[in-house]
Amino acid sequence: MPKSVRDITSMKNSKKITVITAYDYTTAQLCDRAGVEILLVGDSGGMVMLGYENTIPVTMEQMCFFTEAVSRGRKDAMVVADMPFMSYQASKSQAIENAGRLIKSGADAVKLEGGIEIKETVRSIVDIGIPVMGHIGFQPQTTTLQEGYKVQAKTKDAALALIQNARALEEAGAFSIVLEMVTKEVSKIITESISIPTIGIGSGPDCDGQVLVVHDVLGLFEKLKPKFAKRYLELAGDIVKAITSYKSDVVSGKFPLQEHSFSIDKTELERLRKEIA
Ligand code: KIV
């Protein structure tokens, strides 16, 4: 049975929440089997799966496609799908319609980037019964446009603004909030000052949970290696090694062997040869 919003919110102050991104069926199955509580179909999929420079070009169609695959692969984890850039900013009705499309694609909740400025949008999605995860601090869809990759909440004023954003999202009914690249001290203050779980990425150890991009955890993505992402494997190198061995076996005739081949019955083969002759 997939985790519910209540399962996640009840973990605050008792057990850390583990979140990892997934964009396809096989990876979702493996991450689910590893016991993570939430599979995040992040719009980071635009970068690691589709090769975009950033998350801005990602479309609703692509997010629905990833979400369908991930939801088919999960058993126990909650599936949260990112609302891509410009899928919720134009109007509340646009936001509700697109949140609904992600739920119909198999998500249990949606994630939106933004604070006070999207409070009413979050409220309107929550009011129709769709759970919302907030996302503040570094917001890849817009912070990159304004100032590039930069640690957030390094001054008192910036920290205060972030605390207000977190409170606004809580008031609007969000069930949890991602804090991205927020100074660890301010993450701790935010975590202690709201009643819903915070999920950190590059935001220190005091958040209620952590999220990482699965390609970073597995060492698959080499274009960008954020300081905050712990690489548990270096699969990119292993994959290139394996494919190089495959190529060399094909060229040398070491692959395929008998064990990888299928045979036709001897009499059928005789008959075939005769007919051809
Ligand atoms: O798209 C994504 O992967 C995310 C995480 C960085 C939180 O939003």
CA-based nearest residue to 74, from 114, 115, 107 = 107
How many angstroms does the Cα of residue 50 sit away from the middle of ligand 1? 15
Confidence of residue 147 (pLDDT cuts 50, 70, 90): confident
Is 5-233 a CATH 3.40.718.10 domain? Answer: no
- Residue 165 CB neighbours (<10 A): 22
82 within ligand 1 shell (Cβ under 6 A)? yes
Complete DSSP assignment for 77-117: SEEEEEPPTTSSSS-HHHHHHHHHHHHHTT-SEEEEEBSGG
What whole-number percentage of the chain has pLDDT above 90?
A: 97
216 lines ligand 1 (CB under 6 A): no
Give, for ligand 1, the residue of 17, 18, 44 to mutate: max count of ligand atoms closer than 8 Å to Cβ: 44
139: pLDDT strictly greater than 90: yes
Distance CA 113, CA 44 (A): 13
pLDDT of residue 144: 74
Cβ of 141 closer than 6 Å to ligand 1, yes or no, is no
pLDDT of residue 258: 94
Going by pLDDT thresholds of 50, 70 and 90, the confidence category of residue 276 is very high
201 touches ligand 1 (CB under 6 Å): yes
pLDDT at 167 exceeding the cut of 80: yes
Is 180 marked active-site?
yes
What is the distance between the alpha carbons of residues 115 and 107, in angstroms, rounded to a whole number? 22
Nearest to 125 by CA among 98, 107, 90: 98
- Domains of the chain, residue spans: 5-233, 238-276
Q: Rounded mean pLDDT of 27-32?
A: 98
Q: What local confidence, expressed as pLDDT, does residue 148 receive?
A: 80
CA distances from 228 to 36, 151, 183, 186 (A): 19, 11, 12, 16
pLDDT digits (tens, 9 = 90+) for 235-253: 999 999 999 999 999 999 9
pLDDT in tens, 201-235: 999 999 999 999 999 999 999 998 999 999 999 99
